[in-house]
Structure 1
Amino acid sequence: MSSLRLLGICGSLRAASWNRKLMLEAARIFDPAEFTDANLRLPLYDGDLEAEGIPAEVQTLADQIKTADAVVIVGPEYNKALSGVLKNALDWVSRVPGGVWRDKPVAILSAAAGRAGGERSQMTMRHAMNPFRAHVLPGPEVMIAAPDREFDEAGRLKNEMPIKLLTELMGDLRKAATR
């Protein structure tokens, strides 16, 4: 069997963000897979821009989603919701013909400084994904609170419970991707 294709979508653009570290941990645990880190540096959605044609970077993201066997979406919580970066990406991809999310296995993760670890960002992300009819896994929920204490210097999770939950979630994602 050829290697699975895993797409990582991180809702934080900062190179050293906790969410990027969490996405890379998920990819490491999901392995073996051909992993792609999606570029979310997209223009803000604008109907006038869309009328000129789908921007190349948006089409690239839609193509990556379509060809992935599974997707991991990781995002911070900004003002009690998913980040604007993630929402903008979802809005743009929804304008690309072909329904690239349909039945796609998706795992949602979050890391946030608050005590709930991004619980509201996950709730709003699940709500935002609903119209696309993706196969969003219901759990286990992986929410990393106080991420500055959860990762070591190499960017690896160091506490047993989040590692256990992430391992279970990535195992479920792998099963969903091979069905």
Structure 2
Amino acid sequence: MKLLAFAATNNSKSINKQLATYAASLVEGADVEILDINDYEMPLFSQDREEELGHPALAQQFFAKLGEADGIIISFAEHNGSYTAAYKNLFDWTSRIDQKVFQGKPLVLLATSPGPGGANTVLTAATGSAPYFAADVKASLSVPSFFDNFDMEAGAMRNEELKQALTEAVNKLAD
């Protein structure tokens, strides 16, 4: 299985990138590629820019990466209750290539934050909207209080219940 994982944020020290990377490592036998959306930074989307630029090569490359994967794990950071501007911009450009951004791929959607909410607001939005963009959402999971539940030194979940829930979620990608 070719598995693509990334954090929906441009924060270089993202706890969501740590969560996505860890989650991908739980899928036995998977060939894992971890993307950094900083590699796909483009001008702020607008119809005027689209008329000027067409479909930027970076958006096309991102769309191709999604299409090449057998499964996708995305972990969402939450900015003011919504998507990060970096992810939303990348998604907007990519959706103009083809509204079926996720191309029928199985997805596991995650989110975490330092607080007890676990970025659940953005995760709920992502889980609700992803099927409209041709995602086969297999599972979603919010991890609250990241630093209490994740061992940063070991790079692993210390909360056994969350580890079990995460393992069950990502293993649904193989179904």
Q: CA deviation at 1:61?
A: 0.5
Distance 1:26 1:70 in 2: 12
- Aligned with 1:10 (options 7, 26, 35): 7
TM-score, structure 2 length as denominator?
0.88
What secondary structure does 1:115 align onto? Answer: coil
Q: CA deviation at 1:98?
A: 7.6
What secondary structure does 1:110 align onto? Answer: strand
TM-score, structure 1 length as denominator?
0.86
Deviations 1:6-65 (A, max 9, x none): 111211222221101100111100132222222323212232332222112111110000
- Report what 1:46 is aligned to: 46
Deviations 1:70-111 (A, max 9, x none): 111101121122222222222111111483423210110011
Distance 1:100 1:14 in 2: 23
Deviations 1:111-139 (A, max 9, x none): 112312111111111233232121112x3
What secondary structure does 2:37 align onto? Answer: coil
What secondary structure does 1:131 align onto? Answer: helix
Distance 2:67 2:47 in 1: 23
Distance 1:161 1:48 in 2: 48
Unaligned regions of 5+ residues in structure 1, if any?
A: none
Distance 1:7 1:81 in 2: 22
Residues 28 and 55 of structure 1: is their aligned pair in 2 closer, same or farther, counting only changes over 3 Å?
Answer: same
- Report what 2:124 is aligned to: 123
Distance 1:60 1:120 in 2: 29
Mapping for residues 125-140 of structure 1, pairs under 5 Å: 125-137=126-138, 139=139
- Report what 2:154 is aligned to: 154
- Residues 155-164 or 124-133, more deviating: 124-133
- Report what 1:170 is aligned to: 170
Do 1:82 and 1:120's aligned partners in 2 also have CA atoms closer than 8 Å?
A: no
One-letter amino acid of the structure 1 residue matched with residue 24 of structure 2: A
Do 1:6 and 1:71's aligned partners in 2 also have CA atoms closer than 8 Å?
A: yes
Unaligned regions of 5+ residues in structure 2, if any?
A: none
- Residues 122-131 or 95-104, more deviating: 95-104
- Report what 1:34 is aligned to: 31
